[in-house]
A and B are shown apart, each in its own frame.
Chain A
Amino acid sequence: MRQRNLAGAAAVLLTGFLAGMFAASSRGPVAASAQTARAGKTAAVSISTQEFQKLKSDAAKAKNAAGDQAHAMTSVAYHFNNLWFAGEHGNWPLAQFYFGETRSHLRWAVRIIPVRKDAQGREVKLTEILKSVENTPLKQVEEAIKAQDRTRFAKAYAFTLQSCYACHKTVAKPYLRLRIPTQPSEHLIDFDPPQEAHATAK
């Protein structure tokens, strides 16, 4: 009985010791920073100001390097234009490539400015507009590419252009009217399908 009491007391002591050690270790940095703040308030502020200035400058550099929404939309236009010619030529792997680039650049553009305003000052959620475009006309474009169906591709492409223009109108840029392109943006790329594919198709 006495032995059992001693063992219990030892267990309680050990638990208490461990709990104390844990509390001291977790409180350590907080206590240290509180001490620093008490001891040299001015020094702490000057360091943080320097850090803040550096962060501010880094952020400005990053912002400049990232480009603005117009930049991203120019890339969208470039890839979406080429997509038309890839599809028209029946070069489906190339069409799939330009489709992917168009979609990722659209997402990038919307990440840069997710909310714009309409002509009456109401908020326009570009992220939601893009979701609806991805769920409907862009999905139809991708399905047409997978099915290698030029008729469906042309229809879905035209529907996507309509939805892009609808978005331009919503954000008070109705002058950005769109049409089926007549020239590809890229002159280096051969839009014809590879010869083997030609042979197989024939």
Chain B
Amino acid sequence: MKPRDPRSFLPLTPRVFHVLLALAEAPLHGYGVILEVQRQTDGVIVLRTGTLYVLLRRLLDQKLITESEERAAPEDDDERRRYYALTDLGHQVVRAESRRLEQVLQTARRSRVLGRPR
């Protein structure tokens, strides 16, 4: 089956984008995702357990993420935990979204929303 075009997922909602971004570096468990998203967004987006797992289920179903065998450093590993990692499709989608956002940013610069372009 032909893989789905990554661009068909765009634009992503901020939550989905940040969850994918959080998993881009390394596989994480659920609580790790919550902490990472909180760090990335300076606490603007606080994911709660209920929301997160419904979201993760959707991403799993869309094959953007997968459950991972790869583990974090042994000292903070809890082996009962489930870890999530990006699939290739997930990587492509997060890259596509980042590019899109970059263009958005450029447009914003050009229209001087952010002050003079340097």
- Chain A partners chain B: no
Instruction: List A residues at the B interface (Cβ < 8 Å).
Output: none
